[in-house]
């Protein structure tokens, strides 16, 4: 029986690869947009504008304080109620982009605030504009603190993307769920699902570790 199911599973492999592609599409799109939005929010969060700062802070808290599954349901079921019809795929991308932006915002703000204030003062003293201070002095230094946790966060977000299977996005997890109805070998089916996630996540985890090591070496040299 086991070998029969195994060959069945091998035959389903193209289906799994389609799911893998969907996982990559959902998380890739969300990561790109989430990174851009997260950087903008993070820069504002580290700025001196109190109102914007606390608005973003409150939003980040709301998102960090609730499960991603609940957020996905809210986007998918509630936005149509106020006139925004959404397919599962865009709903998933919106929810994951927002989640990514919130986590990345905190990482970016932390990185900017970790740059010694003397750096900003020196930049201001030499007549650089606020934008120039940020672009040439603050951000390049902040990147050292930002980069390792940023890549680590990407791993978490790729894994979180599995949750969108709950609204019917046919990603790797959903493919596993559908397959297990037909091939009742949960260990085998979800073993394969696990391996496919591992293929995406493990290199990212290693990259994050390497960055962490390299960045600390640079920091101690300074």
Site for another protein in 74-113 (CB under 8 A): 74, 77-78, 81-82
* CA–CA separation, 151 and 207 (whole Å): 7
Contact assessment for residue 18 and residue 175, using Cβ atoms and an 8 Å cutoff: yes
Is position 59 an interface residue for another protein (rule: CB under 8 A)?
no
Q: Choose the stretch contacting another protein; rule: CB under 8 A; options: 9-17, 49-57, 89-97, 182-190.
A: 182-190
Contact assessment for residue 26 and residue 100, using Cβ atoms and an 8 Å cutoff: no
Is position 211 an interface residue for another protein (rule: CB under 8 A)?
no
Q: Is 99 exposed, middle or buried (0-12, 13-18, 19+ CB in 10 A)?
A: buried
Is position 180 an interface residue for another protein (rule: CB under 8 A)?
yes
Q: Choose the stretch contacting another protein; rule: CB under 8 A; options: 35-43, 61-69, 132-140, 142-150.
A: 61-69
Is position 168 an interface residue for another protein (rule: CB under 8 A)?
no
* CA–CA separation, 165 and 177 (whole Å): 9
Is position 178 an interface residue for another protein (rule: CB under 8 A)?
no
Q: Choose the stretch contacting another protein; rule: CB under 8 A; options: 31-39, 44-52, 109-117, 186-194.
A: 186-194
* CA–CA separation, 189 and 177 (whole Å): 8
Please choose, from the candidates 95, 93, 68, 81, the residue with its C-alpha nearest in 3D space to the C-alpha of residue 163: 68
* Range 138-162 burial, b when 16+ CB lie within 10 A, else e: bbebbebbbbbbbbbbbbebbebbb
Is position 116 an interface residue for another protein (rule: CB under 8 A)?
no
Choice between 43 and 73, CB closer to another protein? 73
Shortest separation between residue 134's beta carbon and another protein, angstroms? 29
Q: Give the footprint of another protein on this chain (CB under 8 A).
A: 61-62, 64-71, 73-74, 77-78, 81-82, 155, 159-163, 165-166, 172-173, 176-177, 180, 184-191, 193-194, 197-198, 201-202, 205
């Amino acid at each position: 029986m086991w070998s029969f199911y195994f060959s069945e599973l091998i035959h389903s492999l193209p289906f799994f690869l389609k799911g893998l592609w969907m996982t990559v599409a959902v998380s890739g799109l969300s990561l790109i947009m989430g990174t851009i939005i997260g950087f903008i929010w993070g820069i504002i969060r580290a700025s001196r504008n109190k109102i914007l700062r606390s608005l973003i802070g409150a939003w980040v808290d709301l998102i960090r304080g609730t499960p991603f599954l609940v957020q996905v349901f809210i986007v998918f079921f509630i936005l149509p109620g106020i006139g925004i019809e959404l397919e599962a795929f865009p709903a998933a991308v919106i929810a994951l982009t927002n989640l990514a932006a919130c986590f990345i915002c905190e990482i970016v703000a932390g990185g900017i605030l970790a740059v010694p204030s003397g750096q900003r003062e020196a930049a201001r003293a030499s007549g650089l504009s606020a934008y120039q201070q940020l672009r040439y002095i603050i951000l390049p230094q902040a990147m050292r603190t930002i980069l390792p946790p940023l890549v680590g966060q990407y791993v978490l977000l790729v894994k979180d993307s599995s949750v969108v299977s709950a609204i019917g996005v046919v990603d790797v997890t959903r493919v596993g769920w559908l397959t297990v109805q037909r091939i009742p070998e949960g260990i085998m089916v979800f073993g394969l699902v696990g391996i496919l996630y591992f293929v995406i996540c493990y290199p990212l985890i290693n990259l994050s570790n390497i960055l962490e090591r390299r960045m600390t070496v640079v920091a101690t040299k300074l």
